[in-house]
Structure 1
Amino acid sequence: MDTMMNFLLLLSGLHLLLAPASAQEVQPCETPLLMSGGFSVMLATGQMTSSGKISYDAPGQKVRFRAYGFNSDMTVNSTVDQLMLFSEKVYYEIDWSRFSCKKKALETSYVPMQLPKESQLFGKVYMGSSSSWGMGLLVNNWYGELPNNGLYNAVFTEYGCIPLTFSGYTPATGWTMVSTFNWVLGNVDPMDYVPPFFCANAALEKSAPVSMFEALQSLAAKQHRSLGAGTALDPISRVRCLSAATRCHCDQ
């Protein structure tokens, strides 16, 4: 009788301990403070139009996107950049082939690699399989609203809070999807977050602030124009060249 009573008391105690934990909602995670990796951008048409390297500084609220254009011989023939300074609500559009720079207003309600506190959890899923160790990756799928009737969706790993994909939609621009990969913790060059010298005299353009997704659409279009129809690689070759960085070199 005493044994049964002790067992019931133990179950009651466990229930009281587990009930608050199970009632807690999953909160948006926080990414590592400094990261570097690769990215690709795909527009609503389904055509991959931009790919390159990305650097992220969480404390400074800064992101650098470097897009590369490749020739058929795997050499880089153009480099266009965007340096986004979310704390200052501006971004620089940089064209190294022309040494030109534009300074534009940035809408900062959505910061990449950083989930807004009001983000809602759509669900948890395994990318791959959960049947055995190493066969799958547990991720969290988040969503929320952007200004001007927009929406966003973001996928982060459950462990480590590493960003995988970002999708943004506005009625004016449609869908833009950003995929990231090959993340490493830390940054190699602190100058990634400093505008180049020829941006010193760039005046802020008088235009409405744009979101990160709209800015990346502009980056993709700028890269496409700089390449020209005859020199661009097909999407698969672009990814292969970006992944095999040791095979790529600048011919500027």
Structure 2
Amino acid sequence: MKIFVALACLLAGCLAQRPHPCGKCERGRFKLTQFSFLQSTQNEKLWVYAKYLYDALGQRMRLFEFGNLDNQTFTYDFLLLYKEHVMYEINHHNRTCKKIPLKVDFQPLGISKDASLLGQVIVGSSSGPGQGLLVNTWIGDLPNKEGKYMSTVTEFGCIPVSVA
């Protein structure tokens, strides 16, 4: 009987540690955030530096990418203003700016409360403390849209790793 009680307590403790979805940005996360990364292919024919500025309260994003493909340099710079339903394509080389209608709704970063946990993994090494990154992958339905999303975020801080 004591073993049964001990196993029941262990099971309850394990279930209580299940990750919970981190909230949408309106509840405090990702109000103003900057993401940047550098990526290259294995043969180094393509490399890209990207910087994304995200403003949840103002519902705007700035996407900047600079890279090289087969010794040809390229630059992309977009300013997306969702409240005004407009996107600006900025060409720094020509010093021009093209105004384009923005026909999509703003999608705030975060994991919805009805999302389902797909899995939890450690990216990197788990052999020592602080050597790996604990991430959770969530799936859920897109709000007001037909379709689903899959998002991987860090367990601590709810920082996006990938979104699909």
Give TM-score, length-normalised by structure 2.
Answer: 0.64
- Aligned sequence identity (%): 31
2:101 paired with 1:104: yes
| 1:154 aligned counterpart, secondary structure | strand
2:16 paired with 1:22: yes
For structure 2, the residue ranges without an aligned partner over 5 or more in a row are 40-44
Contact 2:23 2:112 in 1 (8 A): no
Contact 1:36 1:55 in 2 (8 A): yes
Aligned to 1:163: 160
Aligned to 2:42: none
* CA apart distance, 1:139: 0.7
* CA apart distance, 1:124: 1.4
2:60 paired with 1:62: yes
Aligned to 2:90: 94
More helix by share: 1
* CA apart distance, 1:133: 0.7
Aligned to 2:51: 53
Q: 1:38 aligns with which of 26, 36, 39?
A: 36
| 2:104 aligned counterpart, secondary structure | coil
The structure having more radius of gyration, on CA atoms, is: 1
Q: 2:61 & 2:133 partners in 1: Cα distance? A: 26
CA spacing shift, 1:138–1:71, aligned 2, 3 Å: closer
| 2:110 aligned counterpart, secondary structure | coil
Give TM-score, length-normalised by structure 1.
Answer: 0.45
Instruction: Describe how 1:116-131 pairs up with structure 2 within 5 A.
Output: 116-131=112-127
CA spacing shift, 1:154–1:24, aligned 2, 3 Å: closer
Q: 2:67 & 2:17 partners in 1: Cα distance? A: 50
Contact 1:152 1:166 in 2 (8 A): yes
For structure 1, the residue ranges without an aligned partner over 5 or more in a row are 1-7, 42-46, 168-252
Q: Which has the higher contact order (CA 8 A, sep 6+)?
A: 1
2:151 paired with 1:154: yes
- Count of residues paired in the alignment: 145
